[in-house]
Structure 1
Amino acid sequence: MNNFLFVAAENDAIPNCKAGGMGDVVRDVPREISKRGDKVHVVVPSYSRLHKNGVFKASLEFQLRGQSYEAELYEVVPKKILPNITHYAIHHPEITEGGIAHIYHDDPTEPFFNDFIKFMIFNTAVAQAIKIEAFGPLDIVHMHDWHSSAILFLKTYHPNYTELKKMRYVYSIHNLAIQGIRPFYDNYASVHNWFPEINLDHKALMDPRYQDCINLMAVGIRLADAVHTVSPSYKEDVLLPSRKPEFIGGESLEVDLQKADNEGRLFGILNASNYGNIRKAEKGFLYRNTVKALFRWLQDESKKYKADFLAHTGEKVMEYVGNRPKFIVSSVARLTEQKFYFFKRSPEALELMLTRLESIGGIFMLLGTGDPDYEEHFRKMSYKYKNFIFTNGQSEDLIDSIYLETDLYFMPSLFEPCGISQMLAMRNGNPCLVHHTGGLKDTVHHMKTGFVFDGDTYDEKIDNMVRSFDEALTIWEHDQPKWKKIKANAKKARFTWEKSLDEYYRSLYLL
């Protein structure tokens, strides 16, 4: 039996510990490993809340900032108890929750300031837990994004953690654009402040652009035994330099990624979707679940500033309760540049699409929260267009209803490491319209399982996005046999963890 440790900022196997797709992966991959008879431990920060109903397992004592620190390891109860998997949260008062999904901080004036502090404490606590064998003797440590890469820094450079060198380290990149860049010196949230005893190897640790800073994403890429991108096409993308906004590639780390690839350490393996134990939703409750979500948000103190808008959305939705639209287009995502750059830079393109949708009695439902500028942009669009329904919040019941009742799922991501939303939509037999990038290339095929747009220039991409949208609606209007075939193909497509894990074991874990 092999013994694995997963280290991440998110884990959707436990309640209230997810901000994005990483949480799904950290939930699903250990479940597949456990089916193979291997043992998995999954550890996340507590964010001062996740440990509260847990069972105390160990006290973790270590040095930071030249001082003694003590963190606590708790075993926590998952949503679903499965053999061979144990879930943990590490508590320390300075590992605080942020405003993004009660996990990450948004530090616009000094990026990563708060997150650097909490993840340094978390990583050092994990290193100490590995050292004292709190998880037993480990074979594989699998780390996810920059939040966990400091374990590699510690095992490589810290004299107290040389024992960590004996196991294999795998590093997964979920979003290369967020890199965890902080100064080496002269700042509270700097490497030297937290590890004054380490003689810093600047060249091995530094950001290619800001040479007075560490880049923790780069640390993961440079020091791991195996590096993993979450789709084969995203691997090909990140080996090339970015040309924004036409192409998002290696984001200044393409040279490091090329080196890892040349050394046989870089692998692109597609994330998968869950096809069993699906949270059941019933058809016919889309508008009811929208109204329920709106009422709940209206009672939330933190959402009082947008009460007028939530009421406006409720009024729009009520019109469709007894007068159902003929066609529903939907998107569910965090409102960020990655997901909706095309809509914000080219609102006229979205306006053309809404006008075309109106011609067939259709609506566009967008659900999400995120960047305040994007939220404000979509609120303005909602006031302007009757058939654009922007539900500015988060609700699992409503998201389930959207995936179940949409006719066309829209994913115009500027870049997409893998994407889970298109898989969830296809699982329900809903064709997707996507940008030809990253993992979307690997999962949606034009006129077979959905619709795809691309272009060599930004203007071409926008024109082709509008054209592909029109093409999809035209097929629905005038060629139902073809539409039904695309729907059936989408539903039959299978992206299983079993297949992906075969490749994990072969390439990443060498088992």
Structure 2
Amino acid sequence: MHNFLFVASENDAIPHCKAGGMGDVIRDVPRQISQKGDTVHVVVPSYSRLHQNAKFISDLSFSLRGLEYVAEIYEVKPKKDFSGITHYVIHHPEIQAGDIAHIYHNDLNEPFYTDAIKYFIFCTAVAQAVKTNIFGDLDVIHLHDWHASMVLFLRRYHKEYACLKNIRVIYSIHNLAIQGIRPFENNYSSVRNFFPDVDFNYDELKDRRYQDCINMMALGIRFSDAVHTVSPSYKNDVLYPSNPPEFIGGEGLEEDLNQADREGRFIGILNGCNYRNIRRARKNNLYFNIASAIFEWLQQESKKYKSDFLAHTGEKVMPYLKRKPDFVCSSVARLTEQKFYFFKRSPEAFLEILDLLAEVNGIFILLGTGAPEYEELLRKISHEKKNFLFINGQSEDVIDSIYLETNLYFMPSLFEPCGISQMLAMRNGHPCLVHHTGGLIDTVRHLETGFVFDGNSYDKKVRNMVDSFKHVLNMFFEDKTKWRLIEKNAKKERFTWEKSVDDYYKSLYKLPA
């Protein structure tokens, strides 16, 4: 039997701890590992809320900023129990909930200022928990994105945590664009301030562009025993420099990634999708679930502009409780440049899509929270276009209903390491319209299981996006035989975690599957 520790910022196996697709991975991979008879411990921050009503395990004492810090580790009850998996959260008053999904902070003036502080504390607490044997004797520690990479800093430089050197450490990249760059010193949220007594090597840690800063994504790539990204096509993309917006590649880290590749440490394995024990919504409940969520959010919302918009959205939903549209297009995603750059830069293209939908009594439902400028744009368009429902919140019931009752799932990602949403839509037999990038290349086949747009310039990409949408609507209404075949093919596709985790054991963990 092997013993694993997963360290991440999100975990959708426990309630209210998800902002994006990483939460799905942290939920599903341990479940697949447990089916092999191995044990998994999963730890995330508490964000000053997830430890409430949880089981206290231990205090964790460690030194930061030349002071004694005491964090607390709790065992949390998951949404579903699986033998061999234990879920934990770490609480400390400085590990606060952010404004993005009550997890991440959006520090506009100093990016990653607040998040770096909380993940410095979190990672040190995790290292202390490993040292005090709370997770038992570990064979593998699997870190996810920059939020967990400081465990590798401690492993390499901190004398208190030399025990980490005896454990294989894997680093998974979920979003290469978000790198956790902070100053080395002369700032409260700096490495030197939090680790004043640690003798670290600046050259090994520095960002190649901002040499007075640490790049915590680079740290994970440079110091882990294996680097993993979540689709083969995305792995190939990131070995080349970015040329935005036509091509998003290594985002300044291609030199480190090529080095890892030359060393045989860089592996692309497609994420899987859960096809068993699925949380299902009741059919024909989409608009009821939206209305119900809005009423709940209205009772909690203190900002007037947000409550006004919720009321506006509620009014737009009401007619659909009685009379459904003839076509539903949907998107569920964090509102970021990665997901909706095409809408932000070319809102006229999105407005054209909404007009095409209006001609066929169709609507566009977009659910998400995220960057303020994206929320503001989508609120504005919602006021302009009757057939655009912008659900500016997070609700599992609404999300499940969207995946169940949509006709077309739209994923115009500028880049996409893997993507889980297209798999969830296809699982329900719904075709997707996607941009030809990253993991979307590996999962959607044009005119077979869905629709793909591309172009050799930004303008051509946007034009092809709109033209592809016209093609989709034309096929749906004029060629039902072809449409139903694509639906059938989409539903038959299987991207299983069983296969993905077998590849993890072989290529990442170096363990018998």
**How does the TM-score come out when normalised to structure 2?**
0.97
Residue by residue, what CA displacement relative to the aligned partner does 1:375-405 show, whole Å, maximum 9, x if unpaired? 1211221222222222222221111111111
Residue by residue, what CA displacement relative to the aligned partner does 1:312-339 show, whole Å, maximum 9, x if unpaired? 2222222223222111111111111111
Aligned position for 2:198: 198
Q: How does 1:367-446 map to 2 (within 5 A)?
A: 367-446=367-446
Higher mean C-alpha displacement, 304-313 vs 363-372? 304-313
Q: CA deviation at 1:414?
A: 0.7
Identity of aligned residues (%): 68
Aligned position for 1:283: 283
Answering whether residue 479 of structure 2 is matched by residue 493 of structure 1, we say: no
Aligned position for 2:219: 219
- State how far apart, in whole Å, the 2-side matches of 1:388 and 1:105 are: 28
Answering whether residue 6 of structure 2 is matched by residue 3 of structure 1, we say: no
Aligned position for 2:116: 116
Answering whether residue 302 of structure 2 is matched by residue 302 of structure 1, we say: yes
Read off the aligned partner of 2:321 and give its amino acid letter: V
Contact 2:454 2:460 in 1 (8 A): yes
Specify the SS of the correspondent of 1:416: coil
Higher mean C-alpha displacement, 369-378 vs 492-501? 369-378
Higher mean C-alpha displacement, 308-317 vs 221-230? 308-317
Specify the SS of the correspondent of 1:433: strand
Contact 1:297 1:303 in 2 (8 A): no
- State how far apart, in whole Å, the 2-side matches of 1:296 and 1:458 are: 40
Flag the 1:303–1:395 CA change in 2: closer, same or farther, 3 A. Answer: farther
Flag the 1:136–1:375 CA change in 2: closer, same or farther, 3 A. Answer: same
Higher mean C-alpha displacement, 291-300 vs 239-248? 291-300
Answering whether residue 27 of structure 2 is matched by residue 45 of structure 1, we say: no
- State how far apart, in whole Å, the 1-side matches of 2:92 and 2:380 are: 42
Q: CA deviation at 1:103?
A: 1.3
Residue by residue, what CA displacement relative to the aligned partner does 1:349-373 show, whole Å, maximum 9, x if unpaired? 1122122222222111111122221
Read off the aligned partner of 2:419 and give its amino acid letter: G
Answering whether residue 142 of structure 2 is matched by residue 142 of structure 1, we say: yes
Count the aligned residue pairs. Answer: 511
Specify the SS of the correspondent of 2:302: helix
Higher mean C-alpha displacement, 182-191 vs 385-394? 385-394
Specify the SS of the correspondent of 1:79: coil
- State how far apart, in whole Å, the 2-side matches of 1:441 and 1:502 are: 22
Q: CA deviation at 1:300?
A: 2.0
Specify the SS of the correspondent of 2:366: strand
Q: CA deviation at 1:58?
A: 2.4
Read off the aligned partner of 2:385 and give its amino acid letter: Y
Flag the 1:382–1:157 CA change in 2: closer, same or farther, 3 A. Answer: same
- State how far apart, in whole Å, the 2-side matches of 1:46 and 1:398 are: 25
Aligned position for 1:233: 233
Residue by residue, what CA displacement relative to the aligned partner does 1:57-84 show, whole Å, maximum 9, x if unpaired? 2222221112222222222211112111
Read off the aligned partner of 2:376 and give its amino acid letter: E
Structure 2 alignment gaps of length 5 or more: none
Q: CA deviation at 1:501?
A: 0.5
Specify the SS of the correspondent of 2:19: coil
Residue by residue, what CA displacement relative to the aligned partner does 1:25-62 show, whole Å, maximum 9, x if unpaired? 11111110010011111111122222222222222222
Contact 2:301 2:307 in 1 (8 A): no
Higher mean C-alpha displacement, 191-200 vs 221-230? 191-200
**How does the TM-score come out when normalised to structure 1?**
0.98
Residue by residue, what CA displacement relative to the aligned partner does 1:154-201 show, whole Å, maximum 9, x if unpaired? 111111111210110000001011111111111111111111112231
Specify the SS of the correspondent of 1:302: coil
Structure 1 alignment gaps of length 5 or more: none
Higher mean C-alpha displacement, 363-372 vs 461-470? 363-372
Answering whether residue 67 of structure 2 is matched by residue 104 of structure 1, we say: no
List 4+ stretches of structure 1 deviating above 3 A.
none
Aligned position for 2:58: 58
- State how far apart, in whole Å, the 2-side matches of 1:398 and 1:164 are: 42
- State how far apart, in whole Å, the 2-side matches of 1:175 and 1:344 are: 20
Aligned position for 1:336: 336
- State how far apart, in whole Å, the 2-side matches of 1:311 and 1:373 are: 20
Specify the SS of the correspondent of 1:239: coil
Q: How does 1:159-178 map to 2 (within 5 A)?
A: 159-178=159-178
Contact 1:74 1:90 in 2 (8 A): yes
Specify the SS of the correspondent of 1:299: helix
Q: CA deviation at 1:423?
A: 0.6
Read off the aligned partner of 2:378 and give its amino acid letter: F
Answering whether residue 184 of structure 2 is matched by residue 184 of structure 1, we say: yes
Specify the SS of the correspondent of 2:68: strand
Contact 1:271 1:500 in 2 (8 A): yes
Residue by residue, what CA displacement relative to the aligned partner does 1:418-468 show, whole Å, maximum 9, x if unpaired? 111111110110000000111111111100000000111000100110111
Q: How does 1:60-99 map to 2 (within 5 A)?
A: 60-99=60-99
- State how far apart, in whole Å, the 2-side matches of 1:99 and 1:316 are: 26
Higher mean C-alpha displacement, 102-111 vs 405-414? 102-111
Q: CA deviation at 1:15?
A: 1.3
- State how far apart, in whole Å, the 2-side matches of 1:403 and 1:93 are: 37
Specify the SS of the correspondent of 2:446: coil
- State how far apart, in whole Å, the 2-side matches of 1:205 and 1:398 are: 42
Aligned position for 1:314: 314
Read off the aligned partner of 2:351 and give its amino acid letter: E
Higher mean C-alpha displacement, 209-218 vs 392-401? 392-401
Aligned position for 2:31: 31
Flag the 1:491–1:405 CA change in 2: closer, same or farther, 3 A. Answer: same
- State how far apart, in whole Å, the 2-side matches of 1:69 and 1:392 are: 37
- State how far apart, in whole Å, the 1-side matches of 2:352 and 2:50 are: 45
Read off the aligned partner of 2:461 and give its amino acid letter: K
Specify the SS of the correspondent of 1:19: coil
Q: CA deviation at 1:303?
A: 4.8
Contact 1:298 1:304 in 2 (8 A): no
Read off the aligned partner of 2:502 and give its amino acid letter: D
